[in-house]
Amino acid sequence: MKTANSVDAARIELLLSDLRLPAIKLMWAKFAEQSDKEGWPAARFLAALAEHEIADRGRRRIQQYGWRLSDHRPHAADVQTQRARKAIAMATVQYLPDFAYIVAIALFVLSLRWLSSPATASPNPPSA
């Protein structure tokens, strides 16, 4: 019976290599032993293996991203920042006339109030 288990284990190793599931390949024997010992249902066993594979893929993706970034020129990481600066500059230029109109209206209203206040009003109203 031991030889059948070792043959199955070897088949599983080959299948996991072909499927490119390295985290499951490393941990399946440990989880199989634990699930046999604790009487896990098959779904729980598969879920535990899948969770570890997903976590390992995320870790590897972050690791590969860091390696890829180091191959680029120093300003490669600033691409998003440059685009954001460009967008802000465009928005500033686009809304500058609107802001100027609002300031002009506010100054016009304030000047009308200043002209109509008693302290700045003309002491001799014009005769008509």
Largest separation between any pair of C-alpha atoms in the chain: 122
Helices and strands (H and E) in the chain: how many = 4, 0
Amino acid, res. 113: R
Tell me the pLDDT of the chain (128 aa) as tens digits: 455 577 778 888 888 888 888 888 888 888 888 888 999 888 888 888 888 888 888 888 877 776 655 555 555 555 566 677 777 777 777 788 888 889 999 999 988 888 777 776 666 766 65
Amino acid, res. 14: L
pTM here? 0.45
Amino acid, res. 19: L
